Amino acid sequence: MKTILSLVLLVCFISCGENRPQTLPPASATKTTKITNAQGFSVEKSESGLTVIEVASPWPGAEKEFTYALVPKEKMAAMTLNRDAYDAIVSVPVERIVVTSTTHIPALEALDVGDKLVGFPGTEYISTKATRKRINAGQVKELGKNETINTEMVLEMNPDAVIGFGVDGQNKAYATLKKANIPIVYNGDWTEESPLGKAEWIKFFAPFFDKEAEADSIFERIESSYLKAKKLAQTASEKPSVLSGALYKDVWYLPGGKSWAAQFFNDAHADYLWKNTPETGSISLSFESVLEKGKAAEFWIAPAQFVSYPEMEAANPHYLQFDAFKNRKIYTFADTKGETGGILYYELAPQRPDLVLQDLIHIFHPELLPEHNPFFFKPLD
């Protein structure tokens, strides 16, 4: 993924009278939410209560930045906004929301607003117990697929906002909903390249529910936990070598050296063998090149969706040539699933990178965290 674009100056409003509609021209914000790791969004709030969120990178290579206005409900009727200045205007606090990525669910639950979720495309992939309970009770409606979301159902439930997930901004369903005055707000948490950067997107959700203080506190705890674990890892005397990924149709996919996953390995004080590659996403390699470089790797982390050694051997007997396979040093997150089979790592790991890092430290340096109970990464069966 390309380097995230630099953030630009945000716009907000000033009051123009008490007893007549107010036109809100651009004005400098008075309070900026502190963002220490994320690069893809900013939040500013004016004295009059308007919050402006700017999303600089809703998807890799996005040529447009998106600006959203969040207006307190008690002020919405008295204001005339310049709608051309914003990509969506949302009345807050939100009471009914639709989100479109499982990575959005943990942020809602952490902010204690999971009960505001009314619809989701692909509910079978949601694994968290609290939201699954609401799905089973019929309180969260199935909306189909994100690319072809059931617009009729969304219009019927009339949410205060839809938090969108997009790869190119060409979702026709979103365009239909926008024409019907349903606010579409893009979330780009997945474009962040650092573990803490992804987790900090909880501050993106907070203003929709008047939960800014709670989000700051939650992220501060996660950041502190992560940095504490990272500091501990640096005290290890050894730096074990690491292999990752697996074959798919004769192509081996593994994390690029500047990727989210590679940073976990580095912060866990491990020698990821492809750490010097420039890619921020995955790398596509031949089996032969991976074998040449990774045959002697001490550990093999995240071998695609495999959960057992017999399964890997049956898929490709050449896996047995790797020392990590021979020595039973392969660990997977694919066996940690919710009740409907969704892999919990994809949903929760971006929100809790500290748990991921602690798992990896326990694997690479068990003497540093001997009492740790692995959350995501477990040994292959």
* Residue 9 pLDDT: 30
At residue 72 the predicted structure's pLDDT band, cuts being 50, 70 and 90, is: very high
- Residue-level pLDDT at 76: 83
Q: What pLDDT was estimated at residue 170?
A: 85
Q: What is the pLDDT of residue 62?
A: 87
Mean pLDDT along residues 21-44: 74
Which of 71-75, 166-170, 247-251, 317-321 is least confident?
166-170
Q: Using an 8 Å Cβ cutoff, are 219 and 202 in contact?
A: yes
- What confidence category does residue 78 fall into, taking pLDDT thresholds of 50, 70 and 90? confident
Mean pLDDT of 235-240: 96
Q: With a cut of 70, say whether residue 25 has pLDDT above it.
A: no
Compute the chain's Rg from CA coordinates.
23
Give mean pLDDT, residues 116-124.
96
Pick the CATH number of 234-379 from 3.30.365.10, 3.40.50.1980, 3.90.700.10, 3.40.50.410: 3.40.50.1980
Tell me if the pTM is above 0.75: yes
- pLDDT at residue 2, as a whole number: 36
Is the pLDDT confidence value at 19 over 80?
no
The pLDDT mean for the chain works out to 90
Beta bridge partners of 69: 52, 89
pLDDT mean over 159-172: 90
- What is the C-alpha to C-alpha distance for residues 209 and 183, in angstroms, rounded to an integer? 15
Residue spans per domain, the chain:
22-223, 234-379
Q: Which fold has domain 22-223?
A: Rossmann fold (3.40.50)
Hey, which residues does 16 pair with through a beta bridge? none
Which pLDDT band holds residue 82 (cuts at 50, 70, 90)? confident
376 pLDDT exceeds 50? yes
% residues pLDDT > 70 (the chain) = 92
Per-residue model confidence as pLDDT tens digits over 335-375: 999 888 899 999 999 999 999 999 999 999 999 999 999 99
pLDDT at 189: 94
Q: Which pLDDT score, from 0 to 100, does residue 115 have? A: 97
What tens digit of pLDDT does each residue of 133-157 get? Answer: 999 999 999 999 888 899 999 999 9
Strand-strand pairing, 41-45 and 51-55 = antiparallel
In the chain, which ranges are continuous DSSP H helix? 73-76, 105-110, 129-136, 151-157, 172-179, 195-199, 202-205, 212-233, 260-267, 287-294, 309-315, 323-326, 344-348, 353-364
Looking at 244-308, list the stretches that DSSP marks H as alpha helix, in order from N- to C-terminal side.
260-267, 287-294
Q: Best-predicted range by mean pLDDT among 72-81, 161-170, 317-326?
A: 317-326
